[in-house]
Amino acid sequence: MYDMRLRVSYVKGLVEGLEIQDDKLKKVLSEIIDVLDEMAEAVDDLNMAIDETQEYVECIDEDLGELEDDFYDTDYEDDDYDEFDDYEDDYYDSDDEYDFDDEDFLEADCPKCHETVYIDRDFVVDGKAECPNCKTEIEFEERE
């Protein structure tokens, strides 16, 4: 913002070089230049504060990153991901949709909301389960 202060100084020099005879006009222009000079100084101060704040935030970010690395065990081994991959293979198909062809789920059409729902066999009690969408009771036929 040093450029802004130079420009204000240039305008001040121009006004002084005009040799204005009207005292009232000269006083008004002088006050305007003083205000511009104060504004340029304030902007300069703000820019310095922003630069200092930016440096401070970057330091905090680095420190936080180090703390996260120390606190959270982010050094995973390839074996750590195998367990998740097995889970993913069991319940997802290639389109990232749930794979409900598994024997653990029952497919049914809700009589109220007419949605096709998949319900885990563990939630079926006495051949009945609750629709997850509308909470209507759905009856299942016993299959062996």
Domain ranges of the chain: 2-71, 96-139
CA pair distance 89, 66, nearest whole angstrom: 34
pLDDT in tens, 68-95: 888 886 555 555 555 555 555 555 555 5
Tell me which of 39 and 98 has the higher pLDDT. Answer: 39
Contacts of 106 (CB under 8 A, 6+ apart): 118, 119, 120, 121, 124, 129, 140
pLDDT at residue 58, as a whole number: 94
pLDDT in tens, 112-139: 888 888 888 888 888 888 888 888 888 8
Residue 109 · residue 115 · CB < 8 Å: yes
pLDDT at residue 144, as a whole number: 42
